[in-house]
Each structure stands twice: as structure tokens, then as C-alpha cells.
Amino acid sequence: KEPPTGRPFTPTEEAILLAGFLRYEPEWHPHYLLLLRSLMRTGESLALKPEDLNFETRKILVRETFSEGKIGPTKTKRVRIIDMSEELALALLAYLIRRREEERIRGIRFTYLFGWEADRPIAMRTFQGLFNGLRDFLGLPHRVLYSTRHTGITRLLTMTSDYEYIKTQAGH
């Protein structure tokens, strides 16, 4: 069997994946949209905190990563600020409103943007399992979760030839 690759999804496959999350796993749609639109590494997205999102400037502060069960510095050991599309900003804002209601009901405050425990992000294994399960259910070609990053980079390459901007957004 051929090993899975980080090949990007086609625009049609990406649309099917996002529609699938919206329909079957709506709680997680904003997170997968974030991966596809922001060029963030998966661990960086897991380490996001609500205060890392600035909806006025539509910017995301990327300062940490979640790897091997621990929060630490990003792969490049650098903090970066990346752009947030209007589509992503609206999805994340709606998610945060629902999240605040969940906090009120449960009487807790979540430290991390994505996760079910007050002080821990969702486990990578759980997050990958959600992705793999829906990908297979939708009949999409075998791609690894990291393909979302490659898909986002490919999408941005079709929109601009400003390689310095793409490099900055991707944290290279």
C-alpha cells in the first residue's frame, strides 16, 4: 500500500470536506476551516487561545504549538501574525459565541480555543480521528491531516504570486 502523502485536496475535494464538516461535525467545522485557510500547522491551531484572535484587524497570533501532549514554542521558535479571511473570522466568531455559552452552562473557562477540558486542547489523536473518519465517510481520497496545510498553501498560490507573503503566512 502506498504511504499517505501531504498532497493537497483539489478545490472540489476541499469543498466536499468542508461541507461534510458543516453537516456532520458542525462543532469542528471552524477548526478545519482554520487549517485550510490559515496555513497553520495542526499543533499551532491546537495551541490557540481565544485571545490570539483579533477580529477587528482579522489577525491571528501564532505563538505556541501543541506536540506530544505539551504546549511549547512553534517549530521555528518564532511568533508570527497571520491573516484571517472574512469567511474564517465569521466562522470563528460564531464558534466563540457558542463556546462562551458552553462555558456558562458548565461553569468553567476554556484556556484553549479547541478542546473539551478547561485547561487542555483537544488531543491530536482525537483531532486526526475526526478528520480521517469524515474523509473516509465522504469517500475522499486518502490524505493525511497535514494535507490541509498544503491545500491552503496551494490555494494561496493560485491567488497571489507574492511568495514572501505566502512564506510569512506559512511560517517558513
Neighbours of 11 (CB within 10 A): 12
**Cα separation of 149 and 170, whole Å?**
8
CA 26 to chain centre: 14
Its pTM stands at 0.90
pLDDT over 70 at 3, yes or no:
no
pLDDT digits (tens, 9 = 90+) for 111-153: 999 988 999 999 999 999 999 999 999 999 999 999 998 898 8
Looking at every residue in the chain, the average pLDDT score rounds to 92
| Residue 1 binned pLDDT confidence (cut-offs 50, 70, 90) | very low
Site of grid cell 466568531: 93
pLDDT digits (tens, 9 = 90+) for 51-100: 999 999 999 999 999 998 899 999 989 999 999 999 999 999 999 999 99
